[in-house]
Structure 1
């Protein structure tokens, strides 16, 4: 377990709106640039102050369906590389949510969170407790906490680190006939939903993530696209 691992975050709120796609987090022209260059442009069209002024431990708070459209993992990697503590949204795109935990970026869905904050407010988030508080305005809200499996993934530093530390993690985590693992509206992994055997999940992790072509079932923009950058 990482010494720096925590589920509680406190910092300045950067507020963003609804339906922000991954292409707005990282523009296509920057995806092959060094991470330092990518970070210098994260969300710049939504708020040009963000990449210039974001500080370690700050918290991104967004509206509905944050991270929609492309499933490219570079978007979550870049957001994490800004140094933020966590990201909170009313709802996330499912693939974006998965990618957050896979790159060890703590995330939490909080219903109506956009109405609880203004940009610059001081907020507290605990993803294990499902807790959000706006200290500036003395408003708090409860939410579904992150699933234990997702917390375990965060604790070791993401999906690749989890697989390196425990190659058999999938077999001990997912029961093939169990319901979809849930954190908020959905969780990870959902092998029962994807119809992917736990041993396949483990064996396909080659350092670049699960190849999409190996995953039967879902298609389209919500297709499983783990760490494909």
Structure 2
């Protein structure tokens, strides 16, 4: 089921979509310019400098248009992160192998992404949500929920066909993998490598064979 704030496009990729629109339909080119400008500013100048004014100047789009399409600065920053993540970490399609193989591939890609600007931007956006609203619920609702649900469904499919032998609820298995990766990243407990992520998937999911 598609959640609000996300539009599913070809090949299972997800793109940011704001709340229901009024009036003239938004331009895809203009939307992309805003989202890409917001992410670029977060990655290069930091979150504090990524104001609506700065995004408007960088994207050559009026502030009025931005405010009309996004309910808050935080929502725009999350959608900009989502837009980038959809390209950098696409959800694995069913044609990409067994559920366990797809989980290994995605977890390894996430571990690698955490080591670069992607990880810093993700942490900054989550921190901004917490500082403004007291929780990361907005980040979960606009970004994480859909991706988590899709990967949970993938794990459940592997349990159903017998290729994944772990018997815990698929939600718990997902959280054990991605929660562990994010926990290690936040606290710098140990290096996070693609190889470690793949081993973690095998440890948690216990794939057959």
What TM-score results when the alignment is normalised by the length of structure 1? 0.29
Greater strand share, structure number: 1
Larger radius of gyration: 2
What TM-score results when the alignment is normalised by the length of structure 2? 0.31
Tell which has more relative contact order, 1 or 2 (C-alpha 8 A, sep 6+).
2
Greater helix share, structure number: 2
